[in-house]
Amino acid sequence: MRTRPFVTEVETFPLEVELEDGGYGSARARVAARVATLVKITTSDGVSGWGEAFGPPRQVAPFLADIAREVVGTPVDVRETRTLDMVSQGYHHLSWGLPVAAASGIDIALWDAYARTFGVPASHLLGGALHTTVHAYASSGYVTRDQDLGRFRDTMAKHAAEGFTAVKIKLGIAPRDDRARTEAAREAMGGDGVVIVDYNGNATAATLVRSVDGIRDLDPYWVEEPVGPDDLAGWRAVRGVGVPLSAGEALYTRYGFRDPIAERRIDIVQPDLTKCGGFSEGQVIRQLAAAWNLQLSPHCWGTGVAQAATLQFLAATPTVPFGMAGEPPLFFEFDRGHNPLREGVLVDPVAARGGVVAIPDGPGLGVTIDEEWVRGHAMKEHGVRLRAHATSSTRR
């Protein structure tokens, strides 16, 4: 009988790279650095799995350390209950935010390790691989310090030259600026292309309506985070704006998604695997979206590990609520902002050709981590390395 593999070691790699010229971001805030924390889990079979936790590494580190202590020595196939127990038992302070982001990195690494144990892609364990490629939109059009419209136009033209026919841009500056940026994106993508607009919640219901009224003729594909996630009255007010609404990057676990889905505040559900609870919670959120007949389009704004995890998730995503024909593209968010971490962590970075990304078909996440690069760039003082004791395999 095969011995049930257990976790023998958890190691984390906090990563940070500063951006030039004050960075870039949304109308709400620019980011001065791109950050992430990678998680490596080794099993008693000698298999390693990798995950990624979203958030500032220095702040995520204590939560990762606590979770790692609970994971070391336990079976690799026990995953879903970890986040659920954490949220249930620590409901006062562990049900959202950085604790869940830390748990997400652990969860992804466990799924990767377990899939590698069987030598299959993670998508095979997430319901089965249904897709080998996926359409990608260039996640771009960021707000910079100078907000130069000419440079913005050049960026849109660059994405079109790269073969993208879909793009997401940042709005929420002012109605006139929002109009000019959307015009530039529409011109680059052409009349048949897809232009997604993202406010990152940097609006009131009134300013959102004014802004959308000013770009309606440019056919925005969806409006992302029109108001903040906690502005429930605002969501009700903008619900009739006449353009599909999306959200999810600021929501955590099935519990955070439950009401926005059940109350139909949103049309497109956007879980981020590095925040929402990893594959385990992502699967439940995907099922909730299908149960309420809503479209799913994951958020992805991390390193190549986050990209690989998102692609495995998309590979196993059914076309429901659509049938054999007529469904919109299953979109992969392909961040095009400058981020050395994105390509640096992978031996073969994820690439788009003609606006299409091939889903990696190797074991686990399907990619090979450049561990030498990761170790060389990690902030060692904020990392964690825990190993199991000889008797740890009996823990449950």
Say if residue 44 is in the same domain as residue 193.
Answer: no
Tell me, yes or no, whether 97 and 246 share the same domain: no
pLDDT in tens, 216-245: 999 999 999 999 999 999 999 999 999 999
Q: In this model, does residue 391 exceed pLDDT 70?
A: no
| Same-domain pairing of 133 and 159 | yes
DSSP classification of residue 22:
T
CATH number at residue 90: 3.30.390.10
In angstroms, the CA 353 to CA 164 distance is: 8
Residue 160's φ and ψ, nearest 5 degrees, are: -65, -40
Instruction: Give yes or no for residue 392 having a pLDDT over 90.
Output: no
Residue 71 has pLDDT above 50, yes or no: yes
- Looking at the structure, tell me whether residues 174 and 264 fall in a common domain: yes
Q: Which domain holds residue 212?
A: 124-358
Which residues touch 267 (CB under 8 Å, ≥6 apart)? 222, 244, 245, 246, 294, 295
List C-alpha distances in Å: 186 to 144, 152, 268: 20, 12, 21
100 within a domain of the structure (yes/no): yes
Over residues 260-304, the pLDDT tens digits come to 999 999 999 999 999 999 999 999 999 999 999 999 999 999 999
Q: What is the pLDDT of residues 342-369, one digit of tens each?
A: 999 999 999 999 999 999 999 999 999 9
Q: Given a cut of 90, is residue 201 above it in pLDDT?
A: yes
Q: What is the mean pLDDT of residues 30-35?
A: 96
**How many CB atoms are located within 10 Å of the residue 278 CB?**
31
Residues forming the active site: 299
Question: Pairing relation of β-strands 352-353 and 48-53?
Answer: unpaired
Closest CA to 50 of 81, 93, 9: 9
Q: What is the mean pLDDT of residues 146-154?
A: 96
Claim to verify: residue 316 and residue 390 sit in the same structural domain: no
pLDDT value at residue 53:
98
Are 170 and 229 contained in the same domain?
yes
The pLDDT score that the predictor gives to residue 353 is 96
* 205 falls within a domain: yes
On whether residue 363 sits in a domain, the answer given is no
The three-class DSSP label of residue 198 is strand
The pTM of the whole model exceeds 0.75 = yes
On whether both 192 and 264 belong to a single domain, the answer is yes
2 domain residue, yes or no: no
User: pLDDT digits over 111-147, tens only?
Assistant: 999 999 999 999 999 999 999 999 999 999 999 999 9
Q: How confident is the model at residue 329 (pLDDT cuts 50, 70, 90)?
A: confident
215 and 303 in a single domain? The answer is: yes
38 and 86 in a common domain: yes
Q: Give backbone dihedrals phi and psi of 194, rounded to 5 degrees, phi first.
A: -110, 130
Residue 181 within a domain: yes
> Quick check: 330 pLDDT over 70?
yes
Q: Check residue 90 and report its DSSP letter.
A: T
The residues, any chain, with a CB within 8 Å of residue 35's CB and separated by 6 or more, are 14, 15, 16, 17, 55, 56, 57, 341
User: Averaged over 76-97, what is the pLDDT?
Assistant: 90
Instruction: Summarize the confidence of residues 80-88 as an average pLDDT.
Output: 89
The pLDDT score that the predictor gives to residue 268 is 97
Indicate the average pLDDT of the chain.
95
Q: What is the pLDDT of residue 285?
A: 98
Work out the number of other CB atoms within 10 angstroms of the CB of residue 354. 11
What's the confidence (pLDDT) of residue 323?
81
Q: What is the model's pLDDT at position 325?
A: 78
Q: Which of 42-56, 78-92, 108-122 has the lowest mean pLDDT?
A: 78-92
β-pair partners for 52: 38
**Residue 395 pLDDT more than 50?**
no
Task: Give the pairing type, strands 133-139 and 48-53.
Answer: unpaired
Q: Give the per-residue pLDDT at 2.
A: 65
Average pLDDT over residues 328-335: 93
Radius of gyration of the chain (CA): 21
Tell whether 144 and 106 lie within a shared domain. Answer: no
Alpha-carbon distances of 106 from 39, 69, 203, rounded to whole Å: 6, 11, 34
Q: How confident is the model at residue 326 (pLDDT cuts 50, 70, 90)?
A: confident
The sign of the CA dihedral 73, 76, 79, 83 is positive
Residue 57, domain member (yes or no): yes
Q: Give yes or no for residue 389 having a pLDDT over 90.
A: no
Contacts of 64 (CB under 8 A, 6+ apart): 12, 37, 39, 53, 102, 105, 106, 384
CATH number at residue 279: 3.20.20.120
Give the pLDDT score at 154: 98
Do both 330 and 255 map to the same domain? yes
Q: Would you say residue 364 lies in a domain?
A: no
Asked if residue 365 is part of any domain, the answer here is no
Q: With bands split at pLDDT 50, 70 and 90, how would you rate the model's confidence at 393?
A: very low
Same domain, 43 and 170: no
Domain count, the chain: 2
